[in-house]
Amino acid sequence: MLPEDGPALNPVLALSRDHARGAHVCRHSHARAQLIFLLSGAMRIGLDDRVFSVPPGQAAFLPGGVPHAADYTERSAVRVAYLDPAAFPGLPGESAVLPLAGLLRELVLRAIALDPGAPWSAADARAMQVLADEICRARDLAPGLALGRDARLRRVTEALVADPADRRSLPEWAVTAAVAERTLARLFVRETGLSFARWRTRLQIARAREALAAGRPVTQIAYDLGYASPSAFTAMFTRETGQPPHLSRATLPGAEDGSPSFPLPEIPRG
């Protein structure tokens, strides 16, 4: 049992954690709902049916009981609040990526400062109710990149998430997944809402933005994503986002205060 899942005096328990670059947290779940954000770094959360990125400037909300895994692609300073759903019955029932508004951020930091072994004051209780209310009010920025549920499709989507530089074509992936090319194409549209080509492009855009936020050179990003040249990558990125990578880096929300963040691409639910 994790400490956050044990008996607790108060219905909100908040913690600070640091993770090294490349750290992986295996699939698990919590009885409590979870709000997690980064002061710095980059994180990906994997659910049963989709994966999404959580950079600084955004927060992930996971209802209690939702299995998930996490990968930290940069050294990350994590702040997390666990909320008892019995005390806050209005919490969302679906996972979401939320904008980390200043009030939401400060309420979690206030929760971290509270003594977990001491009863709350009336002011603390009101503040934690506001925290729950702010979670309920926040809009979901993007439902994440759907992985699909069909086992044949998952062989492809999980492999590409693990290695977005893999340039195999749809016919080649169909051989790998032991499925007809047309069937695989239909599975992508039916279960992710995107064609194979669009799905892979969205994955690459999300990974590119992660890397830009981390300050990596455009040339390195291009080759890491499997492009033959930086110019080919720049052309794709500009076509999809409306601006070249170097301008996108300069305009990432939060870049001016050293805490870069970016909106995830809009991905239809599968």
Mean pLDDT of 215-243: 94
Q: Is it the case that residue 42 has pLDDT exceeding 60? A: yes
DSSP class of 22? T
Q: What confidence category does residue 267 fall into, taking pLDDT thresholds of 50, 70 and 90?
A: very low
The number of residues making up the chain comes to: 270
Report the topology of domain 148-257. Arc Repressor Mutant, subunit A (1.10.10)
CATH architecture of 3-137: Sandwich (2.60)
Does residue 157 contact residue 199 with C-beta atoms inside 8 Å? yes
Q: Which residue has the tokens 């008892």?
A: 84
Choice among 15-19, 53-57, 135-139, 235-239 with the minimum mean pLDDT: 53-57
Domain boundaries along the sequence of the chain: 3-137, 148-257
- Spell out where 29-83 has E strands: 33-46, 50-54, 58-62, 68-83
- Spell out where 109-175 has E strands: 145-146
Please name which of 85, 87, 68 lies closest in space to residue 27, comparing C-alpha atoms.
Answer: 68
* Assigned token pair, 215: 């300050």
Arithmetic mean of pLDDT over the chain: 87
Mean pLDDT of 183-193: 96
Mean pLDDT of 111-125: 94
198 φψ region: left (φ > 0), alpha (ψ -120 to 50), beta (else): alpha
pLDDT value of residue 209 = 83
Please name which of 111, 105, 136 lies closest in space to residue 126, comparing C-alpha atoms.
Answer: 111
Q: What confidence category does residue 255 fall into, taking pLDDT thresholds of 50, 70 and 90?
A: very low
pLDDT value of residue 6 = 56
Mean pLDDT of 9-33: 95
Mean pLDDT of 78-107: 93
Mean pLDDT of 62-69: 96
Mean pLDDT of 80-92: 95
List, in sequence order, every residue forming a beta bridge with 58; answer none if it has no partner.
99
